[in-house]
Structure 1
Amino acid sequence: MLSLGRTDRGTIPTAAGELPFVGHLPFLHRDAIGLLRSSSSALGPLFWVNFGFAHRRLFYVGADALDLLRMPEMVMDYPKNLEKIVGRSMAAQDGPLHRHMRSAINPSFSPRGFAKEASATIASVLTSRIDAWLQQESFAIHAAMRDLALEIILRICGVPTAELRAWNRAYHELLLSVYPIPGRLPGLPAYRSARARAWIDDRLRELLALARGGGAAGSLLEMLSNARDDEGEPLSDQEIIDNVRAILLAGHETSASILAWIIIVLSRESELWSALCEEHTAAPDASVPMSAREAQRFPVAHAIFREVLRLYAPGWFIFRTVTDAITLHGRRIPRSTPLAFSPTYFGYDPTLFPDPDRFDLSRWRDRTSPPGPLELAAFGGGPHFCLGYNVACIEALQLQFILVRALRSAGLVPHLEGVSPKHVYLPLGHPTAATRVAFRPC
């Protein structure tokens, strides 16, 4: 439990398996949640983890961990290697600056705002992409989802999709900053990430100038160029650039993983595919859902989305630091201690989800109450709860609707080639790159 107080910090243990120089990085890459689960079982809810090259973080996986995210003493704390990705976006800010940016950007992502307008774009891209996959013998699922999700968010933001390959490459390079490998020589992660960020920012600066001149009407860039916070203050050009860079990243890397896993579980578990098809058959005249209210007609699709989020959330860690000493689990935590939390960890808590390793639609399908904070932990908590929550939901539900309609019409079912993939956790959670899916006759 959390409280103010004084105890001995020196008794806090370190997770097993720490290696010289690289720390726990290899374990975090291939099974981060496994490391947290085994460490919690052996050491309790509080332990140190080395992210590599002496970058140590104190993990807390207690049931009240999300409560910390709402404390004023708990502030954002991105290490220098990740600052290159988030810049001075609202994802990296607290207090007045965060409220300024968040209040200006919020209206664009409300269910009644831009999120609803984005639904048509999402449906259009999904339809064309699925039609193209039908013509292929098989395809690499995560790469295909990265392309799809990036095209969606580029179109929403007003970025020409003809540049898709260049943007895809730039974001792949930008994410290399997740690895805290020292040095900035050409070829090293920090160098490549900085070069990618410079390209992204230069291009966004050009597009923002175009939007301010009326050349990107209806796009997110155009909306943000006219946005005002609660005090009537506009966003600066650099605030827009930093936030759009972060929105483009979150809007495709995390979505790509979720969408890929949805298709993977449908491909490997025929009973899930049958249940989804039965739901579609029961609503033969239904159109593609364009809002959360319309999507309520599809509880099976909702349940699949929720279970994928529970088991395969792409953003598995959150970094914070404390401005005043606190006590966690009987240990005194001094001010400025670097902390880490794992939203994904809660999905494997057997007190919340019995038999947590099992994919079980009944956890969600027959629910009448909305998901609670712990069940939404994959989208963060407190003032930094994910802006794109509504868009992510619609994207996942539309994918399932359009996929079922297209495959049933063609007499096909999804098929997973080879063994079931692993979930890789760095730079963000995603299925192994070699995973392929094919659409085959029933």
Structure 2
Amino acid sequence: MSASSRKSEQQWTVECAPGAFPLLGHGIALFRRPLAFLNSLPAHGDLVEVRLGPRRAWVVCHPELAHCMLLDASTFDKGGTLYDRLRSLMGDGVVTCPHERHRRQRRLLQPAFRPSRVAAHADLMADEAVAVSGRWRAGEEVDVSAAMMTVTARVMSRVLFSDSLDAATHAEVRRCLADVVRGLFLRTIVPVDAVFRIPTPANLRYRRSVARLHAIVDAAVAERRGGGAHRDDLLGTLLAAAARDEDGAVSDREVHDQLITLLLTGVETTALCLASAFDLLARHPQAERALHAELDAVLADGRRPGAEDLPRLDRTRAVVTETLRLSPPGWLFTRVTTRDAELAGRRLPRGTTVLYSPYLLHHDPGSFPEPERFLPERWLAGRTAARREHALVPFAAGSRKCLGDGFAMTEATLALAAVAARWRLAHRSGPVPRSRPAVTLGPRSLWMTCVPRTQRRTGEAHRAALRAADLRRAGDNGVADA
């Protein structure tokens, strides 16, 4: 069924967004106020034309249209400036490859993300969260964003490479990933390569970090190929596939590209989700108390959570889901038509850029009542979470849906449970800055105060921990690089 025929009672509305500047188009608004600009677009139509510099593009503002587009991956293929930049960074891995090569690559990697394999990593996920938060002290101020990056970088590094990377290299991977992600957004919205060839400190830092990530991956592959013992990790899976492949379809280049892709996409997004969750819980004490009550009941003996606890961590998972709705790390994506197509009754020539934003779709009051409120209970059993189907798309949909969605949800749920079972994270006094989008969305430097939790925490103990934080300088954030 075509997108044009899905809306039986009314026609799709197709308009042009106001406020375009000559030559620059809507680029200024998208750079200065990206989230507010996106949220303003549904008032103008279901499919809205915008100008990115001199080029026309279309923003999908209705979830049914977005769903139809995502299901037709052969017509609406990954492309545009964002994916051009990502391909130069990641190569031709499962995230960035064209549609015709995607199915083979997905089948190659799929075994590593089956539910049984994800469950096998549950102890690792919880252990890393416990290890990082176990170094915190009562009243200490910690950079929660950096701490969660440490957790997810160590988890993903061990899933990809087992113990091939030492502690110093783990820390270097995390630092390089942070530098790369910071530099990507500007390179996406400014399509002028000459600007990024200027040897500014930021450009040099970006280049060094990209080169170092590639070198770390190459060294791990070379060590394994040079006679290192076989390990049951994703690198081992890829090398075994390459050894079985008589046609040479799984090349050394593909092994490298897949590892870089999973490293770049599997670390920061989950870390940002976790940092956003702690930020939102601190802003909403009632939701925080409900989460703590569940954790006190499920983990009553003080143990760290495991795969066997996941079926009972309903509210913990609901907190993660509501965080992904309210602050999706992947907030804006592009597709390019591979042939003449029709969307919302509008003919789109081959090569047309189409954008969709999970942030926009998740904040539509027509889909989610009170969209600006943090309400994890909307995802509990028996609740109607959304008024419209297909409105929640933090991992996309269709054949290009995120390969690691189950892995990410399991990791975020267990890490949140492991930390929140022991600590309450409180905002420091004064205003808390809101997140500004880059390639991803979420707090990149979120300093919070550690308050120990017990099932019978007294108000005075809580206040004492906060007073201790005022006396401690923020120089030591309690996050080990290893």
TM over 0.5: yes
Q: In structure 2, what residue type is equivalent to 1:415?
A: A
Code of the aligned partner of 1:138 = E
Where in structure 2 are the equivalents of 1:42-441 lying within 5 Å? Answer: 43-50=44-51, 54=54, 57-64=57-64, 65-71=66-72, 72-79=74-81, 80-113=84-117, 115-134=118-137, 137-158=140-161, 159-175=165-181, 176-180=183-187, 181=190, 182=192, 183=194, 184-187=197-200, 193-212=206-225, 213-215=227-229, 217-227=231-241, 235-283=250-298, 284-285=300-301, 288-291=304-307, 294-367=309-382, 374=390, 376-407=392-423, 413-417=424-428, 418-431=430-443, 433=445, 435-440=446-451, 441=461
Show the counterpart of 1:33: 35
Q: 1:84–1:197: 8 Å Cα contact kept in structure 2? A: no
Partner of 2:77, secondary structure, is strand
Tell me how far apart the structure 1 counterparts of residues 14 and 204 of structure 2 sit (CA, whole Å). Answer: 35
Structure 1 pair 428/49, CA: closer, same or farther in 2 (3 Å)?
Answer: farther
Q: 1:315 offset after TM fit, Å?
A: 0.5
C-alpha change, 1:84 and 1:136, in structure 2 (3 Å) is farther
Pair 258,26 (structure 1): closer, same or farther in 2 beyond 3 Å: farther
1:132–1:240 Cα change, 3 Å: same
SS at match of 1:91: coil
Query: In the superposition, relative to structure 1, how do residues 147 and 18 fare at CA in structure 2: closer, same or farther (>3 Å)?
Result: farther
TM-superposition CA deviations, 1:259-313 (whole Å, max 9, x none)? 001111222222122111211233325854433x631202111111111000000
Matched residue, 2:10: none
**Which ranges in structure 1 are unaligned for 5 or more consecutive residues?**
5-10, 408-412
Structure 2 residues not aligned, in runs of 5+: 6-12, 452-460, 463-482
CA distance in 1, matches of 2:433, 2:378: 23
- In 1, the alpha carbon distance for the partners of 2:93 and 2:139 equals 39
Q: Is the 8 A contact 2:427 2:447 kept in 1?
A: yes
Q: Could you tell me how far apart the structure 2 residues matched to 1:139 and 1:391 are? A: 26
The amino acid that maps onto 1:101 is Q
Q: What letter is aligned with 2:398? A: G
Q: Which protein is bigger by CA-based radius of gyration?
A: 2
CA distance in 2, matches of 1:77, 1:381: 16
1:416 offset after TM fit, Å? 1.1
Equivalenced residues, count: 426
Alignment CA distance shift 1:119-1:28 (3 Å): farther
Cα 1:297/1:12, change in 2 over 3 Å = closer
The CA distance in 2 between the partners of 1:186 and 1:333, in whole Å, is 40
> How big is the shift at 1:92?
1.5
| Residues 49-96 of structure 1: CA deviation (Å, up to 9, x unaligned) | 455x55653211222212211213121214233322332111112344
User: What displacement does 1:341 show?
Assistant: 1.0
Which letter does structure 2 place at the counterpart of 1:405?
A
Cα drift, residue 209 of structure 1: 2.0
Q: Secondary structure at the match of 2:347?
A: strand
Q: Aligned partners of 1:31 and 1:296: how far apart in 2?
A: 40
Contact 1:58/1:339 (CA < 8 Å) preserved in 2? yes
| Cα shift at 1:228 | 6.8
Is this contact kept in 1: 2:153–2:267, CA < 8 A? Answer: yes
TM-score (norm 2): 0.79
CA displacement at 1:47 relative to structure 2: 2.4
Pairwise CA distance, 1:420: 3.9
The share of aligned pairs that are identical, in percent, is: 25
The Cα shift of 1:401 comes to: 2.0
In the superposition, relative to structure 1, how do residues 367 and 12 fare at CA in structure 2: closer, same or farther (>3 Å)? closer
Residues 186, 12 of structure 1: CA spacing in aligned structure 2 closer, same or farther, 3 A cutoff? farther
Shift of 1:363: 1.0
Name the Cα RMSD after superposition. Answer: 3.1
Letter of the 1:179 partner, please give it.
L
Mapped partners of 1:311, 1:106: distance in 2: 28
Moved more, 343-352 or 253-262: 343-352
